[in-house]
């Protein structure tokens, strides 16, 4: 093309090619500093740094940011787009000069604090309900750790207190199912929507390169059950439900099928819109907070000391389900001690009370519209907490919650203080919130007609 400089795309294996290691390290450090200088996030500084490391991995694998020859950032305006398809969060951490084991423990601590909070909710509920006098009361518990800091470093949690913590847990359970390929297959069976999906596995990076595959290829191509078995035979996929993440073992996402995805923004909003509070013009946003919190677990699980098959977000969902079962039995015993039977309304309140068909409906409600995928922001934790450069101090996820509030009250336009009023764009794809919320409004009424959701 006349007058246009086309970057030379080069694919490197920095794990084995010593000559590219320096270039990789220099660009990683530049990208890290650029992220810290430019990104405005509603989170703690520690979390911002950890998110930067994860973001750089994605840039390196796809040749974006300072890895892109078109960006032209200072010394990197050299017309070369460099792609490192086997870049890992581990290699980014090492390139930055951080201690890998320390960073992995930091990330695991974030997840552990969420599990501790979950346990605290059930302990609080058992304590409050011990004499069966407060079964009709809500259980408001702040989303903070033992030191009073917001869980997962999410700034929103320092400003918002859920009205009923058990509903946060129910939202977490719903979110823990939506990335499961098994659950997505059930959506396909019920609604005919072809959803893609896969699972996280421990992957031997050395063996992976020996068979001339990359982490990017594992996540983008579809691998059948037979293919996955062959990868296991060749030592690429490491068997086991829990595997230590010691080099060359890393976490890899192996795609089972190509298809439509789930939009995390839609999941946050639909989790609330599917749970209308009886007798009030209000939706239960505690479910949405639960989805956001489970998404945090999915984020930080990508680089931890131990790799869990299926991920710690699915583990969390199973754990919450078991704890609800224990809570129901505990309350039932309290009634039996008094010679009474547990009333149905009490059972519904202290049990998980989310049947399988409701999980399927939720995943369907949150899936990306195959005819208009560009309308879905699909924010990650980074973009959920992003403070856009529009003069507003409201992160994207808080704008989602405001949309839920105004939708419940019958408003179909954003408030003046909302990022939507300034046509703020969200997510990596820079999707306008006005168009996204307009689409969700139409989708809501479509779901209402199908009986999946209660009309507002």
Domain locations along the chain: 8-98, 104-181+263-449, 197-257
**If pLDDT is split at 50, 70 and 90, which confidence band does 375 have?**
confident
Res 191: pLDDT: 95
* Whole-number Å distance between alpha carbons of 397 and 184: 24
Q: Are 407 and 282 contacting, i.e. CB atoms less than 8 angstroms apart?
A: no
Please give the span between the terminal C-alpha atoms of the chain, in angstroms, as a whole number. Answer: 54
| pLDDT tens-place string over residues 434-452 | 888 889 999 999 999 999 9
The pLDDT, as a whole number, for residue 6 is: 34
Q: Residue 30: which pLDDT band, with cuts at 50, 70 and 90?
A: very high
Residues 6+ apart with CB under 8 A from 364: 187, 190, 191, 193, 452
What does the DSSP 8-state code read for residue 367? Answer: B
Local confidence band at 4 (pLDDT 50, 70, 90 cut-offs): very low
Omega prior to 248 cis, within 30 of 0? yes
399, 410 in Cβ contact below 8 A?
A: no
3-state secondary structure of 431: strand
Region 266-279 average pLDDT: 94
User: Which residue reads 């992160």 in tokens?
Assistant: 395
pTM of the model: 0.92
pLDDT digits (tens, 9 = 90+) for 207-260: 999 999 999 899 999 999 999 999 999 999 999 999 999 999 999 999 999 999
Q: How confident is the model at residue 165 (pLDDT cuts 50, 70, 90)?
A: very high
What is residue 164's predicted lDDT score, i.e. its pLDDT? Answer: 92
Give Cα separations from 114 to 100, 121, 128, 145, 199 (angstroms).
22, 11, 21, 8, 22
Q: Please determine, for residue 9, whether its predicted confidence score (pLDDT) is greater than 60.
A: no
Phi, psi of 82 (to 5 degrees): -105, 130
In this prediction, residues 253-279 reach a mean pLDDT of 94
The H or E element containing residue 78 is none
Q: Looking at 39-53, 258-272, 354-368, 372-386, which range is the least confident one?
A: 372-386
Position 42 scores a pLDDT of 95
Q: Is the distance from CB of 85 to CB of 106 less than 8 angstroms? A: no
Phi, psi of 9 (to 5 degrees): -90, 125
* Residue 365 contacts residue 453 (beta carbons within 8 Å): yes
- Report how far residue 58's alpha carbon sits from residue 146's, in angstroms, rounded to the nearest whole number: 33
The Cα 258–Cα 252 span in angstroms is 16
Token pair 């499961």 in the structure block, residue: 180
């Amino acid at each position: 093309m006349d007058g246009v400089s086309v970057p030379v795309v080069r694919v490197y294996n920095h794990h084995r090619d010593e000559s590219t290691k320096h270039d990789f390290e220099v660009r990683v450090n530049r990208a890290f500093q650029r992220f810290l200088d430019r990104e405005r996030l509603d989170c703690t500084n520690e979390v911002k740094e950890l998110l930067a490391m994860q973001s750089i991995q994605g840039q390196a694998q796809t040749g974006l940011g300072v890895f892109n020859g078109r960006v032209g950032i200072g010394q990197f305006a050299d017309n070369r787009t460099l792609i490192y398809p086997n870049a890992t969060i581990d290699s980014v951490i090492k390139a930055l000069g951080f201690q890998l084991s320390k960073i992995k423990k930091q990330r695991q601590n974030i997840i552990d604090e969420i599990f501790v909070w979950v346990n605290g909710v059930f302990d609080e509920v058992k304590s409050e309900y011990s004499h069966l006098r407060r079964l009709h009361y809500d259980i408001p518990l702040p989303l903070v750790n033992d030191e009073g800091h917001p869980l997962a470093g999410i700034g929103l949690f320092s400003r918002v207190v859920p009205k009923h913590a058990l509903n946060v847990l129910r939202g977490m359970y719903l979110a823990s199912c939506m990335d499961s390929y098994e659950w997505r297959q059930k959506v396909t069976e019920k609604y005919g929507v072809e959803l893609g999906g896969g699972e996280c596995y421990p992957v031997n990076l050395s063996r992976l390169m020996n068979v001339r595959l990359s982490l990017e290829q594992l996540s983008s191509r579809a691998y059948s059950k037979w293919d996955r078995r062959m990868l296991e035979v060749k030592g690429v996929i490491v068997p086991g439900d829990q595997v230590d993440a010691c080099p060359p073992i890393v976490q890899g996402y192996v795609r089972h099928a190509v298809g439509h995805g789930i939009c995390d923004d839609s999941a946050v909003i639909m989790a609330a819109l599917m749970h209308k509070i009886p007798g009030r013009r209000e939706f239960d946003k505690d479910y949405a907070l639960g989805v956001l919190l489970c998404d945090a677990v999915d984020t930080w699980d990508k680089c931890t000391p131990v790799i869990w098959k299926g991920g710690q977000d699915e583990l969390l969902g199973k754990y919450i389900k078991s704890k609800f079962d224990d809570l129901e039995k505990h309350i039932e015993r309290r009634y039996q001690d008094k010679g009474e039977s547990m009333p149905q309304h009490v059972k519904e309140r202290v049990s998980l009370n989310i049947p399988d068909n409701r999980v399927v409906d939720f995943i369907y409600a949150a899936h990306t519209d195959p005819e208009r995928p560009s309308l879905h922001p699909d924010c990650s934790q980074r973009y959920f907490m992003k403070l856009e450069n529009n003069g507003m101090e409201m992160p994207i996820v808080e704008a989602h919650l405001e949309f839920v509030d105004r939708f419940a009250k019958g408003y179909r336009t954003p408030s003046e203080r909302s990022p939507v009023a300034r046509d703020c764009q969200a997510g990596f794809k820079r999707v306008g919130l006005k168009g996204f919320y307009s689409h969700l409004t139409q989708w809501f009424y479509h779901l209402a007609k199908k009986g999946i959701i209660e009309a507002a």
